[in-house]
Structure 1
Amino acid sequence: MMDPEFHRIRRLPPYVFEQVNSLKAKARARGEDIIDFGMGNPDLPTPKHIVDKLVETVSDPRSHRYSVSRGIPGLRRAQAAYYQRRFGVDLDPDREVIATLGSKEGLANLAQAITAPGDTILVPNPSYPIHPYGFIIAGAAIRSLPPVREGEDFMGVLERATRHSVPMPTAIVLNYPSNPTAEVVDLDFYGPIVDFCRAKGIYILSDLAYSEIYFDPDSPPPSILQVPGAKDIAVEFTSMSKTYSMPGWRMGFAVGNPKLIQALSRMKSYLDYGAFTPIQVAATAALNGPQDCVEEARQIYKSRRDVLIPGLLDAGWKVPSPPATMFAWAPIPDAFAHLGSLEFSKRLLTEAKVAVAPGLGFGEYGDTHVRIALVENEHRIRQAVRNIKRFLATAEPSRPQGSEPLKKVVA
């Protein structure tokens, strides 16, 4: 009898978020009003000039044919121009820029391109799931980089992980501003990492998807490619999803080291014909056009943050104010800490009618937190805060799983 489990599938654990999503779907089927902070799915409309360009282009039947896997030349030039004006980084659109079907696809396919079974990859934990699992699917062994302990810096964590890795790591994944933790770094943070990885022959994959969602106008997040010599070993991923509220369009980029870009290009040439041409043309218009829409989105997320964080504090839940991204990384309140993030998320959903993402879904070191996405309007955020305040004031923190109220919801 054939084994029903395939090799690569066996390496993927059950999707933690699915448990909360299943409860959410059942609650909504019963007519319950669930305020959904779970998925980082931008709710703002795509700016009109970008949509207009899509409509204009799609009206031309010639745009309906196969496109270019690497991205149309105009789009790659537009991304290179963005890097020049935003970071002061020069990129060759032909050798150092490639368009991807969202940054997630680019990360996963680059993992396939550069990984041999048994290679070691360094990935922060907690981390966005594609960062470790893109490499796990490719056959790699993951060495997790845990959160930096008090009195230690990231270089200490990196040096220790590398010293005890056999074989020497092939690559390290970095993600700042971070999903899920919202942590930000300055350019000085990257310099020693680039020097260390160049000396050790370790590639750096930087995920900069939240480069434009930041709240201190004097401290925009830097690119690792600003560090001298970084392009020798580093490639960086960006996305249109958050910057221009284009999540469903699936448009992203990888830029940087020509060898890595060529490896990704070769892999993609076997797998896809690129994004639909009108989407690429509209993305070009987004990058080259007016940027006031980016600032408007940034201010909306900031306003939502400034409603959520004080509201939760008033409710008795102290959550750090995120300096960037569209997420708050919330430590589970002390009275509920013993539940872990998955059970606490279930309790919030069933008793407060608020959906959040359990931190366990981002790695075992995330199990003390939940992630709250700023994807509901301010009115809904205030409603959620009221529900959470009532929950924290009346819930039984030690109630065992399987007691009557929870059983009714799960059944």
Structure 2
Amino acid sequence: MAGFPIQYAERIRTLPPYLFAAIDEMKRKAIERGMDIINLGIGDPDLPTPEPIIESLRREAGNPKHHQYPSYDGMLSFRTAVADWYQRRFGVTLDPKTEVVTLIGSKEGIGHIPLAFIDPGDIVLVPSPGYPVYPVATSFAGGVSYTMPLTKENGFLPDLSAIPKDIAQKAKMMFLNSPNNPTSVVASKEFFKHVADFAQEHQIIVCHDAA
């Protein structure tokens, strides 16, 4: 029986190569050529996980109550601990039942949040350079990325005043990252206040990636 060509969906065909995978391939080829490289790529910790954490995982893995599906919104005790920490750290009160979400990792949240709020054609403001998942997640949701250049002249922070008025009015979401990767710049409270005012004026959801 003859086969038939299988085509990827348009959202896959139009994706650019994943940056970190491309960097890994470049490193692999350099090592194969005998080069001694210093890896300044993805921030993968090179220190072992602390023993108390490993021991806790071993102990809890043996508890039968953890052998079933977890609750859909995560443990309330964990979400309460997050809300308590947020209050101590930032002076902001969060309702752990409605304003804290448990994730399997920050990448999951970044990758999925556009699916919850972005419709096809919606504009998402993304910093450049920045985490590749911002534009990829936007594309998967059918959105359109508008790049905010991080330049030396602007202290490697997005220049909100440079965003055209029509883009700002149409934008539905903005990704920010501080401390920034890869520039390492830390945004000031004044900058975040400016962002909050800008977002309130244009009704833009701000997604701050603090990872």
Which category of TM-score, normalised to the shorter sequence, fits these structures? 0.7 to 0.9
Q: Deviations over 1:103-149 (max 9, x none)?
A: 11011111111110100011111111112211111111111011246
Which residue is equivalent to 1:86?
A: 89
Shift of 1:61: 1.9
Residue 162 of structure 1 contacts residue 168 of structure 1 at CA under 8 Å; is this kept in 2? no
Write the distance in 2 (CA, Å) between the matches of 1:11 and 1:20: 20
Which residue is equivalent to 1:61?
A: 64
Structure 2 residues without counterparts, runs of 5 or longer: none
Structure with more helix by fraction: 1
Shift of 1:23: 4.0
Q: Percent identity?
A: 38
Aligned-CA RMSD value: 2.5
Which residue is equivalent to 2:55?
A: 52
Quickly say closer, same or farther: Cα 1:23–1:187, change in 2 above 3 A. closer
- TM-score for the superposition, normalised by structure 1: 0.47
2:40 is equivalent to residue 37 of structure 1:
yes
1:74 alignment partner, SS class? helix
Match of 1:109 among 88, 91, 112: 112
Which amino acid counterpart does residue 52 of structure 2 have in structure 1?
H
Match of 1:182 among 176, 181, 184: 184
Write the distance in 2 (CA, Å) between the matches of 1:127 and 1:200: 23
Residue 119 of structure 1 contacts residue 167 of structure 1 at CA under 8 Å; is this kept in 2? no
Write the distance in 2 (CA, Å) between the matches of 1:10 and 1:100: 28
Aligned length: 208
Shift of 1:20: 3.6
Quickly say closer, same or farther: Cα 1:64–1:20, change in 2 above 3 A. same
Which amino acid counterpart does residue 66 of structure 2 have in structure 1?
S
Shift of 1:181: 1.0
Quickly say closer, same or farther: Cα 1:99–1:151, change in 2 above 3 A. closer
Which residue is equivalent to 2:129?
A: 126
Shift of 1:186: 1.6
Write the distance in 1 (CA, Å) between the matches of 2:91 and 2:48: 30
Q: Deviations over 1:326-351 (max 9, x none)?
A: xxxxxxxxxxxxxxxxxxxxxxxxxx
2:198 alignment partner, SS class? helix
Q: Deviations over 1:154-202 (max 9, x none)?
A: 67x3233241418610011111100111111121111121112112111
Structure 1 residues without counterparts, runs of 5 or longer: 210-411
Which amino acid counterpart does residue 195 of structure 2 have in structure 1?
I
Write the distance in 1 (CA, Å) between the matches of 2:152 and 2:83: 37
Structure having greater relative contact order (Cα 8 Å, sep ≥ 6): 1
Q: Deviations over 1:269-318 (max 9, x none)?
A: xxxxxxxxxxxxxxxxxxxxxxxxxxxxxxxxxxxxxxxxxxxxxxxxxx
Q: Deviations over 1:193-225 (max 9, x none)?
A: 11121121111111111xxxxxxxxxxxxxxxx
Shift of 1:29: 5.9
Which residue is equivalent to 1:195?
A: 197
Match of 2:102 among 99, 103, 106: 99
Which amino acid counterpart does residue 57 of structure 2 have in structure 1?
L
Write the distance in 2 (CA, Å) between the matches of 1:152 and 1:74: 40
Shift of 1:17: 3.6
Whichever of the two has the greater Rg, that structure is 1
